[in-house]
Amino acid sequence: MLLVCLIWGINFSVVKSALGAMPALAFTALRFLLSSGVLWLILRWQTGRVAFPKGSVWQLVVLGILGNTIYQAAFTVGLAHTSATNSALIISTVPSVVVALGALLGIERPTRRMVIGVVLGTAGVALVIAAKGVSFDRSTLTGDLLSVAALFCWAGYTLGVRRLPKEITPLEVTALTTFTGTPGLVLAGLPDLLKLRWTAMPLAVWGSMAYASVLSLGVAYVIWNTSIQRVGSSRTAIYMCVTPIVATVAAWVILGEHPVPLQGVGAALIFAGVVLSRRERVPYSRSTISL
């Protein structure tokens, strides 16, 4: 999961550097098409076939649309209508929402240590992001609401994966939900794709595309889904608090955005929250990363 935080934290700067040359929806559509192709080849190589498990087809379709189509569209369009800081602060509350919804729906019962860990982690994220300056007003309302919608979509996806049969491997979950989420994103990005000047795209954009497709969508999603199966939704979601720290350091190195001292205090709270949440013993369930 720390590897996931590293991949996703760097991904913010990688994608941001590419969006100056390619429209956001076109970039998202292409990265999902590429990721779908790679996952199809790997799944075919690993299992010898690509098929939806009987009895779980609609679950996987809904999760693909919720966690990929709607989430990615809401996040991307929302980011275009609000500040990156506002969006990051909203999305970073995923651990709190997962714990609350999991308890409300009876999927997972949070312990006192888990609740304290999530509160510490979320407070740390708030400090890391708020240090850059947060401003909620009428001009950002549309983007902020779309970011909230994206937040609940990802929380729903995380809890939904927890409810899937254990026989479905993390690789299958990742691949099949990517397949079902891709068509909607391609349709959303089609107008921009038709206008795209392919030969004018810098080589760096295709490098960003490869990173965002193979690592951010492929490798990271498989590990994320594996962690959900092994230790649960709440203990997996808490790691999203670490991502802003990596994103801040990556932006410093890649984009030249300098961090401030208050973000160090936030980082300490985040690490304390993650360590507290993951120290509890949890039942181990057999599951392998097949990528």
Check if the beta carbon of residue 13 is closer than 8 Å to that of residue 250.
yes
pLDDT of 43 strictly over 50: yes
Residue 93 token pair: 């509350």
User: Which pLDDT band holds residue 182 (cuts at 50, 70, 90)?
Assistant: very high
More confident residue, 202 or 286: 202
More confident residue, 229 or 247: 229
For residue 130, report the phi and psi dihedrals to the nearest 5 degrees.
-65, -25
Mean pLDDT of 199-216: 89
Q: Where are the alpha helices (DSSP H) in 108-219?
A: 112-130, 141-162, 170-195, 203-210
Mean pLDDT across the chain, nearest whole number? 80
Half-sphere exposure of 228 (CA within 13 A, CB side): 32
User: The pTM is what?
Assistant: 0.76
Residue 97 token pair: 């929402």
- Alpha carbons 110 and 25: distance in angstroms, whole number: 37
